[in-house]
Structure 1
Amino acid sequence: MSAARDYGLDDDYEWARPPEGGWTADDLDRLPNLPPHTELIDGSLVFVSPQTRFHARAMLLLVNALLDQVPEELNVIHEMTIKLGKRNRPEPDVLVFRGDADTGPQQTWYRPEDVVIAVEIVSEDSEERDREVKPRKYAQAGIPHYWRVEENEGLPVVYVYELDPATQTYGLIGIFHDKLQLTVPFPVEIDLTAINRRR
């Protein structure tokens, strides 16, 4: 039996083959029938697993809290890509970005210089990307703040990093359980135990 049939596809199904040198950031907008939330890392397409309840609730908690607290000149969105270069277009779970970076309803990505905070919520299949690969790429692109969210007994733990511009690497400035409270890049306070509350 062919690989196509193993996946419930007929033998005429054509698998996407990368071009020589890999895919480019612009290809994400042109390739047909990509699964939702496909990312590009080093010229390779990365497909994500189904979202867990923790992941979805943590994302809602952060988006809603940040929307309430960001300064007027900033905005918040979830699951939008950042075009880091020709062969990298990752999709953070949450972005805080400069409000004037919006280009209209058909926009599919942001520039790294417009991003203030990139947030990744770690899933089982994304541990290495979220802990090592993406923060390195975000730092090299000059994104000033990176938050990594991990699950611990059903509650989020937030690891907060700030960019050292001299080395283009992130330094850990805090690990937050129960409550996330920061003064940079703007004052923010988030009750992390509220992940399952409706209001």
Structure 2
Amino acid sequence: MSTEGLSSVIANYFDKGIILVIADLLSLITVSSCLVIKVPQINTIRENKSSKGISVNGLCLELFSYTVMMSYNYSSGYEFLSYMEYVLLLIQEYVLIYYTFKYQNLLGQKTKIMTVVYIIIATLIYFKIFPVIILTFLVVIRQQHTQQNMQQQQGFLAQKDILTWFRKIKCLDKDHDATAFIASVEAVMELCLSDNHQLMKLAMTIIIN
């Protein structure tokens, strides 16, 4: 691509407005954060050869949440970047679940049967045979499940305390709490996209920290 062609592409991109450009940047930051968010936890389990203290039910709920959201976005034909974080999280979740089940001696017949069922459903979703209406219903269930957490977030958002919320997001990232991390980022984005001043404040906070 020539220099003029590249300059034209960049100019056309920035023509859509600084707000959307910053929103895209924050989306990329979210995806980048999800890239390795569970890797430290996986490495700790492998090094200690123990998954004691890790909730199997919690992992299964996370798997359900990531799978539903990724499947719904994929089946609805949304842009890949809009749900890429769920793909990255799912890959890490599979590895985390494997080692957790392995060191808790849960890789039995029941787990194998459930894995086969999961793969069959995933295949149906991939070929877009699985009914979208069911995925929509599951998304609603998932949203209701996280509603309590979102209400707690609204307390911070009402105060428009971006710095405090940014620190909370950093703690969630450090604790590898991917579900809460994504929900927190989405809540902040919702506030910032409706308030240009807060969006610029968040961008500066990210740069400073």
**TM-score (normalizing by structure 2):** 0.27
Which of the two has greater strand per residue?
A: 1
Higher-RCO chain (CA-CA 8 Å, sequence separation at least 6): 2
Larger radius of gyration: 2
Which of the two has greater helix per residue?
A: 2
**TM-score (normalizing by structure 1):** 0.28
